[in-house]
Amino acid sequence: MITPSVLDLTFATQGIVNKIEDWQTMPDLGSDHFGVLFTITSNQTTHPTIQRFNTKNIKWDKFQDSLKNAFLDFTYNINSRYSNQELNQLGEYFTSKIVETANKTIPKSKVSTNSKPWWNEDLKALRKEMQRLNRLAKASEYTLYQKELKEAKNQYFNTVKTTKTKHWNKFLEKEDT
């Protein structure tokens, strides 16, 4: 570390370049490189939700029929030689028809920044049972179902804990140190 390194370039996409403020270099990070510290400002108060295809609820026969109908007007000559530009256009055409059909026939699921990747159907069932017992206990002014509710809560929260742990351990095993 006789001579410190110099930061030659910093890149930012067009979408955020005007939202970046307070650029600073941070020497003394224990490396021969300087760190870069900056703030990205946003006027957005809520987190955006991303709509994705709900692949668990696809009606394949409907999708298949709709896709066949989308290509009814398409003709091609199998023996013809296509240029690279024509092949790219065909690829774009096929992609647009598939995406258009998917948008029409496949239900969407909203995934937000608060979604839990470790959530599963078992946890959903345990939560539902816990809520059912809670309603019963509440209706009896907590004189009945106390033991069952306590057991259901313990099982639910312990299962959440172990499911989270398994998920994140599996996730981290895939990552490169």
pLDDT band of residue 29 (cuts 50, 70, 90) is low
Residue 22 has pLDDT above 60, yes or no: yes
- Domain extent listing, the chain: 1-45, 50-111, 121-174
Reduced to 3 states (helix: H, G, I; strand: E, B; else coil), residue 51 is strand
What percent of the chain is predicted at pLDDT more than 90? 34
pLDDT (tens digit per residue) in 81-138: 888 888 888 889 899 999 999 999 998 877 666 678 888 899 999 999 999 999 999 9
**Whole-prediction pTM value?**
0.42
CA dihedral for 147, 148, 149, 153, sign (positive or negative): positive
Cα-based distances in Å from 91 to 45, 65, 88, 140, 163: 39, 20, 5, 64, 41
Interatomic CA distance for residues 76 and 71, integer angstroms: 11
